[in-house]
Each structure stands twice: as C-alpha cells, then as structure tokens.
Amino acid sequence: MVVVAGRFGLARDRRAAGFPAPLNRVYQYQLGVIDRLHRDCGLAGDGDAVARLAQLGEELKAAIDADSASYNEVMKAYKLPKESAERARAITAGLKLATDVPLGVAERVAEVSRIAAGLKPITSPGMISDLTTGMALAKAALESALANVEVNLEAIKPETPEDGAFISLTRKRAAELKA
C-alpha cells in the first residue's frame, strides 16, 4: 500500500499513535485519486462527488490528530491515582472519546466507499483499478476503525445509565456500518 501511495508522492506516514494504518493509507490514496480524477479523467461533471471526497479527506486528516488527543486523554486518566474518585470517570470519558473518533472515521470511510462505487460507471477504464484499490482500502479502514470501536467499548465499565446508553447506541451505529 505504501508503494501505491508513493506512486502519488504521498508515501510519508502521517499516522498518529494508535491511528489505524489502513485509514492513513485510505487518506493518502484518496488524495492521489482525487488529483487524478481532476487531471486525467474529466470528472469535473461530477464535481459534487469529487468535492465531497476532498472534504472527507480533510475530515480524515483531522481525525489523525483527534485520535492522538483521545489516546492522550485515556493515558492521562489511567495515570491518576487509583484511589482517586475522579479516575474511573476520567477513564470512562476518555474511552468514550476514544470510541467516538474511530466511529466517526468508520462513517467517513463508508461514505468514501459509496462515492467511489458511484464514480465507477463514469470513470475512464484507466482509473477503475485506482477506484477499486481505494474502495478496498476504505473497506480495510472501516474494519480497522470498527475493531478499534469494539475494543474501546469493551474497556468501558458502565457506572451510569448514560454509560450503558452510550455503549448500546454506539454498538447500534457500528452494526449499521457493518451491514
């Protein structure tokens, strides 16, 4: 995947601590595909889709920093004294944030996949393999993000009805993305 991204001059790894590598590759690859869609494929007629992919790319880029920040919040909470009354609440809050970030990523890469599938019929034959690769990377990123969501949900020890509701709602949203 690095070679593919490198083809577009994007082989630098921008991943933050804990950020799923497949998602980073989707972001990198997506930038290259968007560039080629504009330059080589004459998809200016579907500017809405290309513009949305660009916007999603920026949102995924921002998710790298958000993921790192959420990880830092969880680690900060775990460093609180074990006898501290605020430790459990801080851990739960950090884990909720650390769950929301990859869930948002999953929602975005699912949209990337849908848009790419919609572009397939109007894409030049030379770009089909690029779109297919982008869709495969989006699928890998989706699975990776949802695995991250599940790991974080399992770590949450619900202490309030709101915690339980958060877990239930998040699992429901994740299940919808898997379908």
104-158 tens-digit pLDDT: 999 999 998 898 888 888 888 888 888 888 888 889 999 999 999 999 999 999 9
- Burial class, 16, CB count within 10 angstroms (exposed 0-12 / middle 13-18 / buried 19+): middle
Question: Whole-angstrom Cα distance, residue 29 to residue 129?
Answer: 12
3-class DSSP assignment, residue 163: helix
Q: What CA–CA distance (Å, rounded) separates 158 from 160?
A: 6
* Residue 133: half-sphere exposure toward Cβ, Cα within 13 Å: 19
Domain spans, the chain: 2-178
Question: What's the whole-model pTM score?
Answer: 0.77
Distance CA 59, CA 95 (A): 21
CB 173 within 8 A of CB 68: no
What share of the chain in percent tops pLDDT 70?
Answer: 74
CATH of 2-178, one of 3.40.50.300, 3.90.850.10, 1.10.150.20, 1.20.120.680: 1.20.120.680
Cα–Cα distances in Å, from 49 out to 38, 58, 74, 112?
11, 14, 36, 9
pLDDT tens figures, 20-34: 555 555 555 555 555
CA angle 142, 131, 44 (to 5 degrees): 115
Task: State both tokens at 140.
Answer: 């890998």
> How many other C-beta atoms are found inside a 10 Å radius of the C-beta of residue 76?
12
